[in-house]
């Protein structure tokens, strides 16, 4: 049974608990979990005696998190390190439970020397940014839920309206064709059926463009040489799906050439980039050079997504599995979340000069 240890007025409230308590959902309920993996080193001692004792940090932790501390040398601490793939100690992991998928996601982390500074300002800023980000995510979820419910109500009204018009048509079959209400209901029903059942698939304009140009050249050439309309109409129609596949394969080949070979671990200017998949705790990693462009990060993720049968955990449209997956790469909040959207900037230009953990965030 869990119970809180009352602070001696100089430390945050830490719960007694184990790794099993985390997975049973006994710790993560209304608040995110603040998991502190401690060591026996100087950094851990400094963090516990100089940073965690700051009154403003105690208030932030007690008000916004359920706090649990595990020693990295203990059985539970070692299990937590393996499960959450956390190699550096000390470390603070902010863990949130996804109630729909029943998984525990490390949303934010800070580790090693980043935990400590002379004034404790960096850690305070980290907690502030985490709390702000979590509040924004909660707000987005509420808006999304409200929008989904509103859309569902609109669909229900639309269905009711369609059913009502169909019943009205059946009841008035025997009436005169000049009845204006009957004709209007019939016309609305036909328009609704036409819109919902016979919409042409939307094909990107860049796929159409070269085909239109080619068709124009053929027609102009044939017209100049006085070729008959029958000959022009008999030209074979292009296979749109095949052309789309060819374009996709061409783009993937360009990404491979642009990405190049992975640098050797001992090469000058090498940084290890670890990517957290959008689905949760799984990670992939690769070495890059500090002088590489951000574009290479996206090339790497695109190629991995194409090769992986599970699409790296991205949510995929089952009706169109070849549809483009939209995402962005963001940094962990150290001290704040940063979107890496400028693909023409180098890693060093974005402040990435050492091993770094990045998050892959899927866009709707």
Position 225 pLDDT exceeds 90: no
Position 59 pLDDT exceeds 70: yes
pLDDT recorded at residue 31 = 84
What kind and span of H or E run contains 251?
helix 240-259
217 and 162 housed in the same domain: no
75 and 169 housed in the same domain: no
260 and 315 housed in the same domain: yes
Query: Looking at the domain assignment, is residue 339 inside a domain?
Result: yes
Distance separating alpha carbons of residues 312 and 309, to the nearest angstrom: 8
312 and 219 housed in the same domain: no
Any idea which residue has 């850690």 for tokens?
A: 123
What is the arithmetic mean of pLDDT over 50-69?
89
188 and 281 housed in the same domain: no
335 and 269 housed in the same domain: yes
pLDDT recorded at residue 104 = 74
67-76, 239-248, 302-311, 318-327: range with highest mean pLDDT: 67-76
Distance separating alpha carbons of residues 259 and 288, to the nearest angstrom: 9
What is the arithmetic mean of pLDDT over 63-89?
87
pLDDT recorded at residue 238 = 60
Please enumerate in sequence order all residues whose Cβ is within 8 A of that of 91, keeping only pairs 6 or more positions apart, or say none. Answer: 36, 37, 109, 110, 111, 112, 115
Q: Which residues pair with 223 in a beta bridge?
A: none
pLDDT tens for 190-205 read 665 555 554 444 444 4
The domain boundary, picked from 116, 134, 158, lies at 116
228 and 268 housed in the same domain: no
Number of H helices, E strands in the chain: 10, 9
Distance separating alpha carbons of residues 138 and 134, to the nearest angstrom: 6
Give the strand order in the sheet containing 66-71: 14-15, 66-71, 33-38, 91-98, 103-111
Q: Which two tokens stand for residue 221?
A: 């050439």
264 and 220 housed in the same domain: no
DSSP single-letter state for residue 49:
I
pLDDT tens for 83-125 read 888 888 899 999 887 766 567 778 888 888 888 876 778 888 8
Q: In the chain, what percentage of residues exceed pLDDT 70?
A: 69
CATH number of 66's domain: 3.40.30.10
Average pLDDT score, the chain: 76
Distance separating alpha carbons of residues 149 and 145, to the nearest angstrom: 6
52 and 107 housed in the same domain: yes
Instruction: Specify the pTM.
Output: 0.41
Tally of domains in the chain: 4
Distance separating alpha carbons of residues 352 and 364, to the nearest angstrom: 27
DSSP 128-147: HHHHHHHHHHHHHHHHHHHH
Position 170 pLDDT exceeds 60: no
Query: Looking at the domain assignment, is residue 5 inside a domain?
Result: no
DSSP single-letter state for residue 332:
-
- Domain hosting 221: range is 204-238
Residue 286's pLDDT band (boundaries 50, 70, 90)? very high
CATH number of 305's domain: 3.10.20.90
Residue 103 or 339, more confident: 339
Distance separating alpha carbons of residues 94 and 32, to the nearest angstrom: 7
């Amino acid at each position: 049974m869990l119970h809180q240890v009352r602070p001696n007025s100089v430390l945050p409230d830490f719960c007694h608990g184990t790794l099993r308590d985390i997975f049973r959902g006994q710790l993560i309920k209304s608040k995110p979990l603040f998991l502190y993996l401690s060591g026996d080193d100087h950094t851990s001692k400094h963090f516990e005696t100089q940073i965690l004792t700051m009154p403003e940090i105690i208030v932030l932790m007690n008000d916004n998190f359920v706090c649990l501390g595990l020693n990295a040398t203990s059985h539970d601490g070692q299990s937590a390190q393996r499960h959450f793939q956390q190699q550096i100690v000390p470390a603070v992991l902010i863990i949130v439970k996804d109630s729909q998928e029943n998984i525990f996601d490390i949303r934010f982390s800070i580790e090693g020397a980043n935990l400590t500074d002379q004034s404790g300002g960096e850690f305070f800023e980290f907690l502030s940014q985490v709390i702000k980000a979590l509040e924004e995510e909660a707000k987005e979820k509420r808006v999304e839920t409200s929008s989904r419910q509103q859309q569902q109500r609109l669909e229900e009204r639309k269905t009711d309206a369609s059913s009502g018009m169909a019943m009205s048509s059946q009841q008035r079959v025997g009436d005169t064709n000049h009845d204006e209400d009957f004709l209007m209901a019939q016309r609305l029903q036909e328009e609704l059926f036409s819109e919902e059942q016979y919409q042409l698939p939307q094909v990107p304009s860049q796929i159409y463009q070269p085909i239109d140009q080619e068709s124009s050249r053929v027609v102009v050439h044939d017209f100049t040489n006085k070729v008959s309309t029958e000959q022009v109409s008999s030209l074979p129609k292009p296979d749109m799906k095949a052309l789309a596949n060819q374009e996709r394969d061409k783009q993937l080949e360009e990404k491979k050439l642009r990405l190049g070979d992975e640098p050797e671990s001992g090469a000058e200017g090498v940084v290890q980039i670890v990517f957290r998949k959008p689905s949760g705790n799984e990670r992939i990693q690769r070495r890059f050079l500090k002088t590489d462009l951000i574009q290479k990060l996206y090339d790497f993720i695109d190629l991995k997504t194409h090769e992986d049968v599970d699409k790296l955990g991205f949510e995929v449209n089952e009706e169109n599995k070849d549809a483009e997956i939209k995402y962005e790469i963001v940094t962990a909040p150290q001290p704040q979340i940063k979107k890496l959207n400028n693909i023409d900037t180098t890693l060093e230009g974005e402040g990435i000069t050492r091993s770094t953990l990045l998050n892959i965030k899927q866009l709707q």
